[in-house]
Every structure is written in C-alpha cells, then in structure tokens.
Amino acid sequence: MTTEPIIEARRTALLLMDFQPEILSHLAGSAAVLENAKIALDWAREHRVQVVFVRVAFAPEDYDAIPHRHKAFGFAKQGRLFPDGDPSLEIDPALEVREGPGGRDHDVRPEVTGPRRLTGR
C-alpha cells in the first residue's frame, strides 16, 4: 500500500534558488527549468505554502567577507561578480515575486560566511 506524503502548509516552504536571468542564461534547458519552477510556484501559492526565493548578489562590503579560497564564491570576490543592484540578478520576472500581507514571498540574499545576517525584501 502506498500513501501520498502529507504536506502541511504551515510547516512547509518552497525554496527557489538562483532563478535569476544571469544565472539561467548559462543553463542548458533553462526555459524548461523555469517552466517547472512556475508550476511548483503556482501549486505552492494555491496551497498557501510559504515561498522563499534565494538569489546570488553581493553588496560591496560582502566581497571582503568572502574567504579567498571559498570554493563557490572565491571567483566572485576576485572578479567582483554578481553585484547587488544589477537587474540581471533579480529574481526572473516570469516567477512574479509577490509582496503581500505577512510577506508571502521572500527574496533572500544569504551570507556566504555564515548565518550572520539575512536580508529580505
């Protein structure tokens, strides 16, 4: 006998990471990936599941906090890549980030050095 998993909206979140035009432009099949994300996003909103967007972007002071040998972001530090404020680093408009009561969608830029601070909009 198989049972479907129970998803409790109050204990569940849909996490959409790196759905930014600049990053998607380097991904083969990005249109299909984006379409699947939209399907998941519509389902989450319909079922009142919290939605969290995580994006890569660095404020000028963030570069100094990245260790030189950081495996994921050392290259970003050296080239000052992914600057916050660049429109190509915002969440892809096809996903329609929604502002609303209770902050239904959250756009988060995590720190690479640890959970020192999370900035959300």
60-83 pLDDT, tens digit each: 988 988 988 888 888 899 999 999
Is 4 contained in some domain? no
Please tell me the least confidently modeled range out of 3-12, 44-53, 77-86, 102-111: 102-111
Residue 2 in any domain: the answer is no
**pTM for this model (two decimals):** 0.74
pLDDT of 9 reads 81
| 3 inside domain | no
| Burial of 106: CB neighbours in 10 Å, binned 0-12, 13-18, 19+ | middle
User: Considering the chain, what is the average pLDDT of its residues?
Assistant: 82
Token digits of residue 2: 């198989």
**Number of domains the chain is built from:** 1
**Largest Cα–Cα distance of the chain, in whole Å?**
55
In a domain, 68, yes or no: yes
Residue 108 in any domain: the answer is yes
CA distances from 39 to 8, 32, 42, 43, 52 (A): 19, 11, 5, 6, 15
H or E segment at 17?
Answer: strand 13-17
Domain encompassing residue 67: 9-120
Flag the least confident range among 1-15, 54-68, 104-118: 104-118
DSSP state of 58: B
Q: Rounded to 5, what percent of the chain is helix, strand, coil?
A: 35, 15, 50
Given this model, what pLDDT does residue 17 score? 93
The pLDDT, as a whole number, for residue 109 is 54
- Residue-wise pLDDT for 36-58, tens only, equals 999 999 999 888 888 888 888 89
Q: What is the CATH number of the domain that holds 112?
A: 3.40.50.850
